[in-house]
Amino acid sequence: MNPAPTPASRGPLASALGHLARRRRLWLYLGMLLLLAGAALMAPWLAPSDPYDLAQVELRDSLRPPWWLADSLPGHPLGTDVQGRDLLSLMLYGARVSLAIGFGAVLLQLLLGVTLGLLAGYRGGRLDALLMRWADVQLAFSTLMMAIVISAVVKAAFGGAFYGHYGIWLLILIIGLSEWPLYARTVRASVMAEKRKEYIEAARVLGFSAPRVVLRHLLPNTLPALLVISGAQIGQAIMAEAALSFLGLGMPETQPSLGSLIKSGFDYLQSGAWWITLLPGAYLVLTVLAVNLLGDAWRERLDTRHAPVSPTAKGG
Amino acid sequence: MRDSNRFKFRLAALSAARPRLLSLLLLCVSALPLTARADDVTLNVAYDTLPVSLDIHEQLSVGVLRLAHLAFDPLVRWDRHLGLEPRLATAWERVNDTTLRLHLRRGVHFHSGNLFTARDVAWTVARLKRSPDFKAIFAPIVGVTVVDDTTVDLHTRRPFPLLLNLATYIFPLDSRFYSGQLPAEAGDRQGQDKAAIAKGGNTFASRHLSGTGPFEITRFQPGARIELTRFPDYWDHTSPGNVDHLSEVAIGESATRVAALLAGDVDFIAPVPTTALTRLEHNPGIDLVTMPGVRITLLQLNQRRVPAFRDRRVRLAMNYAVDQRAIAKHLLEGFVTPAAQMSPEGYAGHDDQLTPRYDLAKARRLMREAGYADGFEVTLMAPNNRYVNDAQTAQVALAVAAMLAKIHIRVEFKTLPKNQYWTEYDRRAADIMMMGWYSDTGDSANFFEYLTFCPDSRSGTGQYNASEYCNPELDSLIALANSETDMRRRTSMLRQAEAMVYADAPFIPLYWQNLAWAASDRVAIEPVLNVMNMPYLGDVVVTPRAGETHSR
């Protein structure tokens, strides 16, 4: 993949500086994400205590503030939640859950969306119509509503215990299932555009099988677009999980995600324990921001249309 | 009774109001502005739920009893200290072990104009014994004799000490008003008995009302709104109550209910969500009243499901491991009263000696002695409070799980919305079940009958004994207390029973939920509140708004 063509109107120096700035920003965002995600991944080693081990929890230590305020406890730098669990540990473990759900859900969306998009775009006809109308119907609902409906159905069908047990997997499934149409549409559109080009026709004439044409020749050409969407989608999925948890449909109290931490603190916000809500909230916002900015910066690097030259002509 | 909002789902069926009734209601409403004078005092109230029927014998719930206190009068009622105060019955005496004689108030009129007599009491008790929800409570009464117009005898088969407690549930109905058959205009219901009781049914009594109470109904939207005006011929001239128009609305969402009070749309709300307590307490212009409640919340340890729970030492260890005081202090912000027995203070069975006994070392020792030093795994289920105003039960369940983890009992817990929870509860779906219970009779024995009696599906005793605990000795002690009419001897029996349960530990008592109400400071709410959670709004004094008194 080549970097974006430099606009002819700007001098070579300005263009080089712009490049550097963009790249520096990219590194900055990447570093930010790596720091936040890395801390989450290393939670078992970084966290002062294991918040999933209930035997370590002391209710008498509940609602202690972060270290810089009076009445804080030495072992709990960011204070404790209402149960007396260490908030820093809860946040690190919670971020792990949130990120796992974010990436997992996007992976599922990718898998579903790409498969169905390739099918619809390459086959066309009735299958295409069926899949795209289905996607249309799904897009007509807000994704959050879809997620609520699916999770309610899952809860009713399998019961709350099942839900509590497989919380992470179910949330990945729910958010994955409710957001695939975006990928399917994008992939379909680029397949539709690509499949009329000569190189595809050539491949077909050479007698390559359909799966080979699709996977070896069409799919690689849709990748740039997919990478760009994924940045935004991961952020979206993390937020969707937080929203679901906030509504009480997300992770159970014993294994809170950032979203369910924010929710559990919400009840105590008015009694002055702001840290349970605001600190995980800040972590969440920073993580999603890093993911989004990274996606944006990446898009700028990949997207040729960003340059002020006339858009590339259709067809080849 | 375990829950107060079980009638929510019947709303849709009833709100399909008959056109004729609707026009009648419209007439009432249009007449209101004409009769309402400018210096009339209005009180606006918001509850979480309102009754869906005007028939007070259709459902047994707090909401219905609150309505009954507005439109009817009980024979006797609870005062603030759980004593009994005379209402339609002015005096009473025991004729013999099985008979209680009540002397009734003279010159009391129903809203219809009929005079209240002993026959109305007899008729009402007979109807209560036909009501699906009330007949279990009224089973001990086998007969009512009308001695004369103002004297009535209640008979029981065996000596029964709680007849007066039962009398708090007798709100005499206007027997002449509710007798007869529906006329031809009633259409397909023509010929239906006016006294018929049908749950969620379209009966005469569900839409028409005539009682002796301080308020008459002027408008009724099932489950949503009740408008009442003061009954001009109300008998109680000593009542300080000065409210002319009372309007009650249902606001199910607790945050909205609080907001309505803060905005001045309503003057009085109940219940107050725990999370809003601190805020309302510091709000000028709002009076917050809290009281130790009488509803016990406990964790039942199912002995049938878990063999370890059959060992008394294990049950005791769990009781020593759970720190009720810490839960009350840290988790529920002091808005519950920690409990170590079922009977709250003021109840006959309450014993001050039975206090929470948190002692981790002792708990661990008991577990070792019982051979469970390494603990075991159990499941726990509790309702969560996503839609219902309640203590933060999900947080409580988590805290208990953490406390039991310290004696190596690994608790896998889950919380469900209340309506799903009760189905699971009836299936006894987990090893430990959370239960909240009010005594229907305002008496200690009721707790035992439902929560510790050997489960017996035929007689209905032990219906909510999810501990599956069975101690015939305890059962017979309660049975004995239930036929003891000497109150001092009865009290000592009930205390002995509480002590037996304390020693045997079939469950883990957690706390009594405090009750909370909030009102604008114009409303002198405190004197009319009581632990039974039935504000006597007929007696409430409201300072009129400045504009209201002088606007004429």
Measure in Å the smallest separation between the Cα of B224 and chain A Cα atoms. Answer: 26
Least confident segment among A274-278, A294-298, B155-159: A294-298
Distance CA(A36)–CA(A25), nearest Å, equals 17
Q: B-chain residues within 8 Å CB-CB of A63?
A: 330
| Position B17 pLDDT exceeds 80 | no
Nearest to B127 by CA among B72, B78, B86, B82: B72
Task: Name every residue whose Cβ is closer than 8 Å to that of residue A165 and which is 6 or more positions away in sequence.
Answer: none
Measure in Å the smallest separation between the Cα of A83 and chain B Cα atoms. Answer: 6
Q: Which two tokens stand for residue B473?
A: 């000795």
Q: B-chain residues within 8 Å CB-CB of A82?
A: 330-331, 395
All CATH 3.10.105.10 domain ranges in chain B, comma separated? 292-513
- CA B258, distance to chain mean position in Å, is 22
Tell which phi-psi region holds residue A248, choosing left (phi > 0), alpha (psi between -120 and 50) or beta: left
Distance CA(B341)–CA(B520), nearest Å, equals 35
Measure in Å the smallest separation between the Cα of B147 and chain A Cα atoms. Answer: 58
Q: Which of A55, A83, A160 faces B406 most closely, judged by CB atoms? A: A55
Q: Can you give the pLDDT at residue B29? A: 43
Distance CA(B199)–CA(B58), nearest Å, equals 6
Q: Which two tokens stand for residue B101?
A: 């004689």
Measure in Å the smallest separation between the Cα of A28 and chain B Cα atoms. Answer: 40
Tens of pLDDT, residue by residue over B129-188, are 998 888 888 988 999 999 999 999 999 998 888 899 899 999 999 999 999 988 877 777
Residues in chain B: 552
Pick the CATH number of B4-70+213-267+522-542 from 3.30.70.380, 3.40.50.720, 3.20.20.80, 3.40.190.10: 3.40.190.10
Please give the interface size between A and B, counted as residue pairs whose CB atoms are below 8 Å apart.
63
The DSSP code for B276 is G
Tell which phi-psi region holds residue B375, choosing left (phi > 0), alpha (psi between -120 and 50) or beta: left
Quick check: A53 and B333 CB within 8 A? Answer: no
Nearest to B440 by CA among B449, B429, B428: B449
Nearest to B539 by CA among B80, B7, B48: B80
Q: Confidence band (pLDDT; 50, 70, 90) for A278?
A: very high
The DSSP code for B433 is E
Q: Which two tokens stand for residue B346?
A: 């003021």
Distance CA(A229)–CA(A187), nearest Å, equals 11
Closest residue on chain A to B409 (Cα): A55
Q: Which two tokens stand for residue B328?
A: 């009350």
Are A258 and A95 in contact by the 8 Å Cβ rule? The answer is yes
What would the mean pLDDT of B78-102 be, rounded to a whole number? 91
Sign of CA dihedral A69, A70, A73, A75: positive
Beta bridge partners of B524: B541
- CA B8, distance to chain mean position in Å, is 16
| Position B73 pLDDT exceeds 90 | yes
Q: A-chain residues within 8 Å CB-CB of B405?
A: 53-55, 57
Q: A-chain residues within 8 Å CB-CB of B411?
A: 54
Q: Which of B414, B416, B420, B423 to mutate: most A Cβ within 10 Å?
A: B414
Q: Confidence band (pLDDT; 50, 70, 90) for B24?
A: very low
Are B74 and B88 in contact by the 8 Å Cβ rule? The answer is yes
Tens of pLDDT, residue by residue over A10-62, are 566 777 667 667 678 888 888 999 999 999 999 999 999 998 888 888 888 88
Tens of pLDDT, residue by residue over B351-398, are 999 999 999 999 999 999 999 999 999 999 988 754 334 547 888 888
CATH 3.10.105.10 fits B292-513, yes or no: yes
Distance CA(A182)–CA(A45), nearest Å, equals 38
Q: Can you give the pLDDT at residue B389? A: 41
Quick check: A248 and B330 CB within 8 A? Answer: no
In this structure, the number of other CB atoms found within 10 A of the CB of residue B133 comes to 17
What residues in chain B have their Cβ under 8 A from chain A's Cβ atoms? 275-276, 278-279, 323, 326-327, 330-331, 333, 379, 384, 386, 392, 394-395, 398-399, 401-403, 405-406, 408, 411-416, 420
Distance CA(B195)–CA(B130), nearest Å, equals 10
ipTM of model: 0.74
Q: B-chain residues within 8 Å CB-CB of A53?
A: 405
All CATH 3.90.76.10 domain ranges in chain B, comma separated? 76-169
| Position B10 pLDDT exceeds 50 | no
Element (H, E) at B94: strand B89-96
Nearest to B300 by CA among B509, B128, B66: B509
Rounded to whole angstroms, the maximal C-alpha distance in chain A is 77
**Does A211 contact B at CB distance below 8 Å?**
no
Q: Can you give the pLDDT at residue A12? A: 67
Closest residue on chain B to A57 (Cα): B402
In this structure, the number of other CB atoms found within 10 A of the CB of residue B21 comes to 13
Tell which phi-psi region holds residue A101, choosing left (phi > 0), alpha (psi between -120 and 50) or beta: alpha
Closest residue on chain A to B395 (Cα): A83
Q: Can you give the pLDDT at residue A164? A: 64
Q: Within a 13 Å sphere around the CA of B24, how many CA atoms are in the beta-carbon half?
A: 12
CATH 3.90.76.10 fits B76-169, yes or no: yes
Q: Can you give the pLDDT at residue A312? A: 45
Are B197 and B188 in contact by the 8 Å Cβ rule? The answer is no
In chain A, which among 234-253 make CB contacts under 8 A with chain B? 248, 252-253
Phi, psi of B215 (to 5 degrees): -125, 145
Q: Confidence band (pLDDT; 50, 70, 90) for A315?
A: very low
Angle between helices B444-451 and B472-481 (to 10 degrees): 150
**Does A289 contact B at CB distance below 8 Å?**
no
**First and final C-alpha spacing in chain A:** 19
Amino acid identity of B22? Answer: L
Mean of all residue pLDDT scores within chain A: 83
Q: A-chain residues within 8 Å CB-CB of B331?
A: 59, 62, 82-83
Dihedral in degrees, nearest 10, Cα atoms B65, B70, B72, B74: 60
- What SS3 class is residue B410? strand
Measure in Å the smallest separation between the Cα of B248 and chain A Cα atoms. Answer: 28
**Does A55 contact B at CB distance below 8 Å?**
yes
Helix spans in B427-486 (H): 444-451, 472-481
Task: Name every residue whose Cβ is closer than 8 Å to that of residue B193 and which is 6 or more positions away in sequence.
Answer: B180, B181, B204
Distance CA(B410)–CA(B110), nearest Å, equals 60
Q: A-chain residues within 8 Å CB-CB of B401?
A: 54, 254
What would the mean pLDDT of B288-300 be, rounded to a whole number? 90
Q: Confidence band (pLDDT; 50, 70, 90) for A1?
A: very low
The DSSP code for A5 is P
Q: B-chain residues within 8 Å CB-CB of A60?
A: 326, 330
| Position B41 pLDDT exceeds 50 | yes
All CATH 3.40.190.10 domain ranges in chain B, comma separated? 4-70+213-267+522-542
